[in-house]
Structure formats: structure tokens, C-alpha cells
Structure 1
Amino acid sequence: MPAPTVTRCLATLIEAGMATQLSNGRYALSIKTLEIAQAHANEMAHASDRINELNQRVMAASRH
């Protein structure tokens, strides 16, 4: 990816509060990004649990 594109993307992420520039000039994800990632992981775990529950119901119903 061209450097100007990376710079624009980083500026957009910083403006949205999703990234921050460190004192050493490098960039890092913000707490906001990590919170979104954790919320997504929680939702995926919940969805997986629900799918497993539904699969068990289907299997139990197919035995009858």
C-alpha cells in the first residue's frame, strides 16, 4: 500500500478514536478498538453457544 494511503488511513483511525500515535512516532490501536474487538469476541462466543444449543436440539429431535 502506498505511504500516502497509509497516512490517510491512520489519520482517519486517529480521528475516529481507533488509533493513537505514540511518543516514539509509532502507532497503536486505542482502547476503543480493543473494547470493540472484545465485544465482538463476546458476541461470537454467544453465537457459537447458541448454534451448539440448536444443533443439540436438532440431534435430539432426529433421534425420536
Structure 2
Amino acid sequence: MPKAKSKAQQQAAGAALAAKRGEQKVSELQGASKDMYDSMSEEELDEMASTPREDLPENAD
């Protein structure tokens, strides 16, 4: 399962997951979160969004 490599990636996965669950409008997604919504399953998004944030950099290099 995918793990987030940065806080930004984890946040994008969380937004995509919310849209998959109907908690957010798909039309509000932008950039990486929209791509994730289209290409990942709810299970994959849940795994990525639940990655612990403590040791993640702000952005992946």
C-alpha cells in the first residue's frame, strides 16, 4: 500500500478521500488531489491519508 512521502501528499490524499466518500465536492479538488481521486481506490487513499505526519517533510523532493 502507498505511504505518503510528504505532508502535502498526505493532505492531498485526505482531500481526495473526502471526495470519494462524498464529504467534499469532486469539483473542488485541484492538482494532485484530483489526480489521486481519479487514479486511486478509497482503500489506497485511506492508507496514504493515515500516514503518521511526525517525520514527514513539508514537500517531497
Scaled by the length of structure 2, the TM-score of the pair is 0.32
Q: Could you say which structure has the larger radius of gyration?
A: 1
Scaled by the length of structure 1, the TM-score of the pair is 0.30
More strand by share: 1
